[in-house]
Amino acid sequence: MDLIAVMAVEFLYAVASLVLISAGLAVVFGMMRVINLAHGEFMILGGYVTITAVNLGVNVFIAMVIIAPLAVALIGVVVERLVIRHLYGRLVDTMLATWGLSLFFIGLVTVIFGNTTTGISTPIPGFAIGDYRINGYSFFIILVAVLLLAAMAVILRTTRFGLIARGTMARPDIAAALGHETERIYMATFAVGSALSGLAGAVLAPLVGLVPGSGAAYIAKAFITVIAGGPQLLAGLMSSATFFGVVNQLFTFTISPVIGEVALLVAAVILLRMLPRGITGRFFRERSS
């Protein structure tokens, strides 16, 4: 019984962390058709901002939930203005340029923080269920993911931005024809996406020691979760995060955490191979040969 409870929490945690990791990428990709290969670095920037703020004496929750998203959103706006906006509609070029950004940020973080592991302690203590110890912080991650999904649902359903966002995701060609506002919408979208990445990186930071290259671990997971999710932003995010989260945890329990990660990636390759049209047909036109 205790084991089942612990496992349930672990599964939920795996799904929640995938939702967090992918949300920022999903927003940017869904609305702008930009694949941001620097997504992982945006996340670790959120982590570094949090650590810096905490070291300066800021409350850890304020640092994670407010300061980090704002700081990364600001970085996102600068990046969008300087680089991304010149490359709209050129999917491959944006992938390459954001890959360049990814390397740039890795280098920058190395210069500032050094090529060592930086971290902060988990702000919520663990506790025991029967014979098993459980990480109290997992509940916080799950809570943040649930709140995030709820907030996204409310924004998409009720606000003007949400309406435009849903329109853009359903019919990008028509949305683009609406004209004058697209520039501002894209900038806002990229800022929101960046903020989400920053938030994810911040709340996950206490669980993992940060090194400048940590972003690479996130980008593949975020990628495949978003792509497998398909055009329905929220439903896609939840379903693919659940699928991959469960795959990951199953193999983690039965074999080892690393095999869990490998299994997740292999599952993604197989899934993309089997369902190139069904899940994602609306994002990329399929080759007809």
Type and span of the H or E element at 277: none
- Out of 1, 4, 56, 92, name the contact with another protein by CB under 8 A: 92
Residue type, 197: S
Please identify, using beta-carbon distances, which residue of 70 and 265 lies nearer to another protein. Answer: 265
Please identify, using beta-carbon distances, which residue of 69 and 215 lies nearer to another protein. Answer: 215
Of 7-15, 121-129, 147-155, 258-266, the segment contacting another protein by CB under 8 A is 258-266
* CA–CA separation, 258 and 82 (whole Å): 38
210, β-bridge pairs? 118
- Could you tell me how many residues make up the chain? 289
Q: Smallest distance, Å, CB 45 to another protein?
A: 14
Q: Smallest distance, Å, CB 111 to another protein?
A: 5
Is residue 272 a contact residue for another protein (CB under 8 A)? yes
Type and span of the H or E element at 108: helix 91-113
| Pairing of β 127-129 and β 132-134 | antiparallel
Size of the site for another protein (CB under 8 A): 50
- Out of 9, 58, 74, 87, name the contact with another protein by CB under 8 A: 87
Is residue 289 a contact residue for another protein (CB under 8 A)? yes
- Out of 106, 149, 188, 247, name the contact with another protein by CB under 8 A: 106
Of 46-54, 69-77, 239-247, 252-260, the segment contacting another protein by CB under 8 A is 252-260
Is residue 180 a contact residue for another protein (CB under 8 A)? no
* CA–CA separation, 174 and 272 (whole Å): 28
Contact 203, 141 (CB under 8 A): yes
